[in-house]
Structure 1
Amino acid sequence: MTPTIPYDQFLKNKVRLAASNGFSIGVDEINPRLKPHNKLMVKWLVENGRAACFANFGLHKTVTQLETVLCTLRELGKAGRLTSGKGLIVCPLGVRAEFINDARDILGWNKLPKFIRCLSEIEDDNDIYLTNYETIRDGKIDPRYFDVVSLDEASILRGFGGSKTFREFMRLFTGDAGPNGNRRGVQCVMYRFVATATPSPNDYIELLAYADFLGVMDVSQAKTRFFKRDSTKADNLTLLESKEEEFWLWVASWALFVTKPSDLTGNPADDEGYILPELDLRWHELTSNHEDTGTEKSGQGLLFRSLALGLQGASKEKRESLPARIKKVLELRLEDLSAHRVIWHDLESERESLEKSIPSIKTVFGNQPLELREQIVSDFSNGLIPEIGGKPSMLGSGTNLQKYCSWAIYMGIGFKFNEFIQSIHRLLRFLQKNQVRVDLIYTEAEREVRRTLERKWKQHNKLVQKMIDIVKKFGLSQAAMAQQLTRKMGIERKEIRTDKFAIFQNDNVPETKNIETNSVGLILTSWPFSNQYEYSPNYADFGHSESNAEFFRQMDYLTPDTFRVLKPGRIYALHVKDRIIPAGITGLGFQTTYPFHIDCIQHMVKHGFAYMGMKTIVTDVVRENNQTYRLGWSEQCKDGSKMGVGMPEYLLLFRKPPTDTSNAYADEPVLKRKPVMVTPEGNLIPYDRDLKFPIKLESGYSIAKWQVDAHGFTRSSGDRLIDPEDLWSLKADEVFKLYKKHSLEEVYNFEHHVRVGELLEQKGKLPPSFMLLQPQSWSDEVWTDITRMLTLNGKQWSKGKEMHLCPMQFDIVKRVITQMSNEGDIVYDPFGGLMTVPYWSILLKRFGMACELNPSYFLDGASHCQAATQQVGIPSLFDLLENRA
């Protein structure tokens, strides 16, 4: 029961980057023909064992992968851990020739990698093999035969969860998150790598898919740890501001971003020959036909076609503007008919029009024989064909088309940024001798598509630079990255104390140690939800846990002191809710329930508390389904066996044993005054339930109230303090009215007024054209309710804040405090949050005490406690709802 390591060391151990699973090697053990930056890349990959190489175009990822696979095989042999003794590199169509040529011409290998389509083509005297993604997807090769596998241009992982190729690769390669390379006993490839020049840092789900494939962290776990999720749209992830630094350091621990050699070597001289040529980007806008603009879902006709563009609208726009776009392509070609060009297209109709309009062009497409496709790409790469046409989705990854070509024409633009940027860099890459020209044709209806493409491009460059800055700052040292994260340990302690309450901004573990033994009359709290939500960027945050087990290990430092400070015989009331485990974590293909309340009971009993029972609090099943998609009516109609139940909340009651156990009473009993009876003559007599004459009861603890208190089922009105997130679902006029109500009912606090405005300003939510939070007046002569705002979009606003799964309801708090403590008792909440417990403790004539780690929560809670001290009401959830009505 007693932790075996000091608390500060426990917190430091919570800093986790990707584990190294490889072998330590020296640079002198790597092929001397490699450039210095390639040697460092190989060394880092081999030592990690499962990692990604995100090196820029032309930085020789081909030879880096070849040497990484060879060195890993060699180290496995030294360790006596070889099984097949073979390595495999999986590459896109048309790329195998580059691997074979680079192995011969750059690495100087005598045994060149061999391309295979099935395992029977493997030869005893060869170590490294090549194959295409389609071969593995179609079951012709089982990658688990190989000791080491590297994915070149792993575009299949970008289709996380959706494609047959992705599902098959995850089944064959991975499913593991630990050092043994297995999950549930499934054999998989222990040593595996990913190499691509253009991961999309602004497409978070892609990065998470890479991490999952490499066995670094399960996608669902990473979503929970780093992101605010949109319950209305799957995989629409927003990186929590409080987790941004940790997220990118975590990515840098398993993925190596390199834009130029000096990023790794630190020597600018190594960049000679690796400066990208200037890009000549030319946009060509064509006029759209606005005669048939379509309608909105409501039936309202659209004035301009651009408003109708979604994915379907974009395809329709491309089809209808095809003649004009072909005409523009032919016009651009006239500038230099002898030039070598790539003409990119998206639709089959576009390819057919190209072939009719340009008889000399060669195109690649899906129905062609593989050998013919690869021959066309090879001939164009070697200058034998002047013009080639293809889709970015097919030809845009892996191929090197720069030797004889520096001009690309895009017949159209689309929403898929990654395919676009990949295709750009078939030409724009190191060793390109000419300025690269790119012509992009689009219609005026596609202006928003262009803006989206440019925005993603800018964001891509920004986040790639962030990764490069991390490499420059910390080198390739995980220890240095971990040291940076340990600086988040601890917090500046703050205390606000009056004669009615004391609240602390601090880690509750050391703070609870400061509380006097046997001094607290009641502990009422709601624990964080293990590893489901994190409420602050601090590692002391209990929600910042890798697992449920780690959460309870941290609780082992807190619970003994809560037992110590509680008066003998008194109650620890714990408000909890079970949690849903996503299908991606269960591995069962469907969601299950984690009985959090059971583990809570076992934990408390382990630390000496006596379990007294629980109250069940019902919740709204419709709202819950909107958050989890678990109880959907349509899905239950398809298969009722998937049906779970709504997740109630629980109030778990624990008691610290009294000093004297002979009569079971607390050392200081929680006394209830029985009601008195009034006779018809008006006389007060002691309560007697057997009296028959008409009576009435004076105030006191009635039998009726006792029956409700004693029942194991309780209802709640649901009223609670307003989370800041609640306000963001309101329209601006509703925010204005609610603030007005608050301003008029509470004693004015200038600093609080300014602080709220500053927080809104920091998030870009303070309107520049009018005053949202106006000082309100009690005088009818002063008008303060004129506002000119339209709407205010709802988004998370406060750094590090997450809505609690079951915020503490007012009436539950009031009932517990009234029933289980005496006036004048100290009521303590170690997880204070917005200070609901001390707020009501003050109003119910107790002394409120709480601890909170999140500075913003602490400040908001302090204002609530001050309001309670002054007996001033504060707006609650019901005030918000009433205001909306």
Structure 2
Amino acid sequence: MNAVPYVDYESFIAGKQFSDVPTGFDCDVPVGPLFDFQAVCVKWALKRGRAALFEDTGLGKTLQQSVWAQMVYEHTGGNVIIAAPLCVAQQTVEEAAGFGIAIKYCRRDSEVEPGITITNYEMLEHFDLESFVGVVLDESSVLKSHNGKTRQCITDSFRATPYKLSCTATPSPNDWMELGNQAEFLGVMTQVEMLSTFFTHDGGDTGKWRLKGHGRVRFWEWMATWAICIRTPADLGFDGSRYVLPPLNLVEHVIESGELLEGHLFPVVAQSLSERREAKKASIDGRLDLAARLANEHQGSVIVWCHLNEESERLAKMIDGAVEVTGSMSIEEKTRNIMAFTHGEKRVLVSKASICGAGMNWQFCDTQIFAGMNDSYEQFYQAVRRSYRFGQKNAVTAHIITADTEGAVKDNIARKQAQSDEMAIEMVAHMRNLTKQQIQGATSGTEAYRPAVPLAIPAWIEQNVERV
């Protein structure tokens, strides 16, 4: 039998490490338009080639992704496309132009010119996506919210794209599927591989996953090699004083519905989804009257968030200087109404968080009213952050109007906030040191097998094979 060469334990373990050679390039990033921490993040993302910037709202992802796209275009000479939510595209064009970066908004492939193109997610099907050398997903949490067909189409269309940048506010650490979708889009690891490597089913429920006890630290370390996750520049060792925000005041208003839920003799808190819908409808008059009064009494800009179509339609008529944005509107009409509020032509915006709750910068507004809510903490968080972000000079007040039959909504929000904060702190803590060490590559869940030691076959097996 042939002797197997000795391999020390450290080398053996090192050989088990997943590796993925960066597809990017090293360059000097101009600090001019960027803050110091932003320049470091862009330089790292360019070096990585395929990277994610999970930065909290207000840290300047729009400018960073614009600079990243410009440098990819200058380095390769190939076109770069940015996909963004409704109206965020127009806002990006305006902000980038202020720093001398030309980005063209296009709705179809025939409009593309050399350089950087930006479009809405809904328009991607009208482009030859394989012709772009670089892609940026702005508010890339859409990979979670989009249906499976659309998400898979985005992932497949850009699978061979060498330069990819995924930008979103700190993703929910509890939503493993979102993180898996992000990694799969970037080509780091498929969602299935991520789940099988780091997770296990939670008890008997095959729909819920939890980190394996022994793999918890390993998971965050792996993620840190392809994503920068920060909530403040201080997480990277930079000065974060300019990002200390004024107070955020959550004011809860509970409306007595005055009606009993169907099948009940006494007032009870709604439990099932159908009961919650019934509770919302029973309290709609009281909630809308209060929301309209609060909006009309406020002198400045106001954002009013609704949950039902009826709420949006009625409030737009009840509030002075209001403009409504609904899902049934054309893209042109949505854009016109959103930009009317953005440019100060309309004082009040009435819409749903699922429509206008991501991407826009409305620091000029310090008052929000939630006339109707669903159970999504992420939508609530993103909606509040349209106003409560870097550049906000005043304390922000968010009025939460609910019915007494809906339960303690504010307490529920606080509980989810605490859970999110706890997990986000853990995420950032694991990634902080690795980012400071300027990690040069990212791990990958797949690696070609390259045998370095010849296979040693026992003599008795060789003899039997020869006889056969």
Q: Which segments of 5 or more consecutive residues in structure 2 lack a partner in the other structure? A: none
The Cα of 1:481 is off from its aligned counterpart by 11
Give me the identity figure in percent.
29
Structure 2 match to 1:872: none
Tell me which moved more, 314-323 or 144-153.
314-323
The Cα of 1:20 is off from its aligned counterpart by 2.6
State the Cα deviation string for residues 358-389 of structure 1 (Å, max 9, x = none): 25311111222322222222221222211111
SS at match of 1:201: coil
CA 286–357 in structure 1, closer or farther in 2 if over 3 Å, else same: same
Structure 2 match to 1:20: 22
Structure 2 match to 1:274: 243
User: Out of 79, 86, 91, which is 1:93 matched to?
Assistant: 86
SS at match of 2:386: coil
State the Cα deviation string for residues 794-832 of structure 1 (Å, max 9, x = none): xxxxxxxxxxxxxxxxxxxxxxxxxxxxxxxxxxxxxxx
CA 549–168 in structure 1, closer or farther in 2 if over 3 Å, else same: closer
Is the contact made by 2:54 and 2:170 (CA closer than 8 Å) also made in structure 1? yes
2:233 corresponds to 1:261: yes
User: Out of 346, 365, 372, which is 1:385 matched to?
Assistant: 346
Structure showing the higher helix proportion among its residues: 2
CA 91–302 in structure 1, closer or farther in 2 if over 3 Å, else same: farther
Is the contact made by 2:84 and 2:138 (CA closer than 8 Å) also made in structure 1? yes
Structure 2 match to 1:226: 198
User: Out of 461, 464, 477, which is 2:424 matched to?
Assistant: 464
SS at match of 1:12: helix
The Cα of 1:357 is off from its aligned counterpart by 2.4
Is the contact made by 2:84 and 2:121 (CA closer than 8 Å) also made in structure 1? yes
CA 3–201 in structure 1, closer or farther in 2 if over 3 Å, else same: farther
Structure 1 match to 2:272: 309
2:52 corresponds to 1:52: yes
1-structure distance, mates of 2:171, 2:275: 27
CA 430–38 in structure 1, closer or farther in 2 if over 3 Å, else same: same
1-structure distance, mates of 2:258, 2:51: 49
2:175 corresponds to 1:203: yes
CA 379–243 in structure 1, closer or farther in 2 if over 3 Å, else same: same
State the Cα deviation string for residues 401-452 of structure 1 (Å, max 9, x = none): 112x110000122222222111110000001010000011222333265544
2-structure distance, mates of 1:445, 1:239: 36
CA 143–546 in structure 1, closer or farther in 2 if over 3 Å, else same: closer
State the Cα deviation string for residues 335-370 of structure 1 (Å, max 9, x = none): x34231100012111112212322531111122232
SS at match of 1:244: helix
What TM-score results when the alignment is normalised by the length of structure 2? 0.89
* Bigger radius of gyration: 1
The Cα of 1:460 is off from its aligned counterpart by 1.7
What TM-score results when the alignment is normalised by the length of structure 1? 0.49
CA 49–549 in structure 1, closer or farther in 2 if over 3 Å, else same: closer
Amino acid aligned to 1:469: A
2-structure distance, mates of 1:408, 1:76: 44
User: Out of 220, 234, 237, which is 1:248 matched to?
Assistant: 220
2:97 corresponds to 1:134: no
User: Out of 158, 166, 169, which is 1:173 matched to?
Assistant: 158
2-structure distance, mates of 1:547, 1:96: 35
2-structure distance, mates of 1:286, 1:234: 39
Is the contact made by 2:18 and 2:446 (CA closer than 8 Å) also made in structure 1? no
User: Out of 281, 289, 309, which is 1:327 matched to?
Assistant: 289
2-structure distance, mates of 1:170, 1:56: 24
2-structure distance, mates of 1:96, 1:549: 40
2:126 corresponds to 1:144: no
The Cα of 1:475 is off from its aligned counterpart by 3.2
Structure 1 match to 2:103: 113
2-structure distance, mates of 1:214, 1:440: 38
User: Out of 10, 19, 28, which is 2:12 matched to?
Assistant: 10
Is the contact made by 1:62 and 1:98 (CA closer than 8 Å) also made in structure 2? no
The Cα of 1:155 is off from its aligned counterpart by 3.1
Is the contact made by 2:38 and 2:64 (CA closer than 8 Å) also made in structure 1? yes
Is the contact made by 1:73 and 1:86 (CA closer than 8 Å) also made in structure 2? yes
Structure 2 match to 1:33: 33
User: Out of 92, 96, 99, which is 1:103 matched to?
Assistant: 96
SS at match of 2:242: coil
1-structure distance, mates of 2:182, 2:451: 30
The Cα of 1:547 is off from its aligned counterpart by 6.9
CA 394–3 in structure 1, closer or farther in 2 if over 3 Å, else same: farther
Structure 1 match to 2:397: 437
The Cα of 1:43 is off from its aligned counterpart by 0.4
2-structure distance, mates of 1:75, 1:471: 29
Is the contact made by 2:228 and 2:435 (CA closer than 8 Å) also made in structure 1? no
1-structure distance, mates of 2:127, 2:6: 49
Is the contact made by 1:228 and 1:239 (CA closer than 8 Å) also made in structure 2? yes
User: Out of 352, 376, 381, which is 1:421 matched to?
Assistant: 381
CA 610–366 in structure 1, closer or farther in 2 if over 3 Å, else same: same
CA 7–233 in structure 1, closer or farther in 2 if over 3 Å, else same: same
Structure 2 match to 1:589: none
Is the contact made by 2:79 and 2:132 (CA closer than 8 Å) also made in structure 1? yes
CA 381–356 in structure 1, closer or farther in 2 if over 3 Å, else same: closer
2-structure distance, mates of 1:306, 1:19: 55
CA 289–13 in structure 1, closer or farther in 2 if over 3 Å, else same: farther
1-structure distance, mates of 2:90, 2:267: 49
Is the contact made by 1:263 and 1:471 (CA closer than 8 Å) also made in structure 2? no
Is the contact made by 2:85 and 2:358 (CA closer than 8 Å) also made in structure 1? yes
Superposition map of 1:595-614 within 5 A: 606=457
The Cα of 1:3 is off from its aligned counterpart by 6.1
The Cα of 1:241 is off from its aligned counterpart by 2.5
Is the contact made by 1:158 and 1:206 (CA closer than 8 Å) also made in structure 2? yes
The Cα of 1:244 is off from its aligned counterpart by 1.4
Is the contact made by 2:217 and 2:430 (CA closer than 8 Å) also made in structure 1? no
2:144 corresponds to 1:158: yes
SS at match of 2:269: helix
Amino acid aligned to 1:127: G
Superposition map of 1:291-310 within 5 A: 291-294=260-263, 305-306=268-269, 308-310=271-273
Is the contact made by 2:224 and 2:434 (CA closer than 8 Å) also made in structure 1? no
Q: How many residues align?
A: 462
SS at match of 2:243: coil
State the Cα deviation string for residues 483-510 of structure 1 (Å, max 9, x = none): xx9xxxxxxxxxxxxxxxxxxxxxxxxx
1-structure distance, mates of 2:441, 2:8: 22
1-structure distance, mates of 2:372, 2:323: 19
1-structure distance, mates of 2:303, 2:414: 21
Is the contact made by 1:65 and 1:150 (CA closer than 8 Å) also made in structure 2? yes
Amino acid aligned to 2:355: M
CA 76–427 in structure 1, closer or farther in 2 if over 3 Å, else same: same
CA 380–234 in structure 1, closer or farther in 2 if over 3 Å, else same: farther
State the Cα deviation string for residues 579-603 of structure 1 (Å, max 9, x = none): xxxxxxxxxxxxxxxxxxxxxxxx9
Tell me which moved more, 384-393 or 233-242.
233-242
Q: Which segments of 5 or more consecutive residues in structure 1 lack a partner in the other structure? A: 78-84, 175-187, 295-300, 486-544, 558-602, 612-655, 658-885
2-structure distance, mates of 1:230, 1:53: 29
2-structure distance, mates of 1:200, 1:343: 24
The Cα of 1:236 is off from its aligned counterpart by 1.5
CA 251–66 in structure 1, closer or farther in 2 if over 3 Å, else same: same
SS at match of 2:39: helix
1-structure distance, mates of 2:133, 2:154: 16
Root mean square deviation, CA, Å: 3.2
Is the contact made by 1:119 and 1:141 (CA closer than 8 Å) also made in structure 2? yes
Is the contact made by 2:79 and 2:115 (CA closer than 8 Å) also made in structure 1? yes
Superposition map of 1:330-341 within 5 A: 330-333=292-295, 336-341=297-302
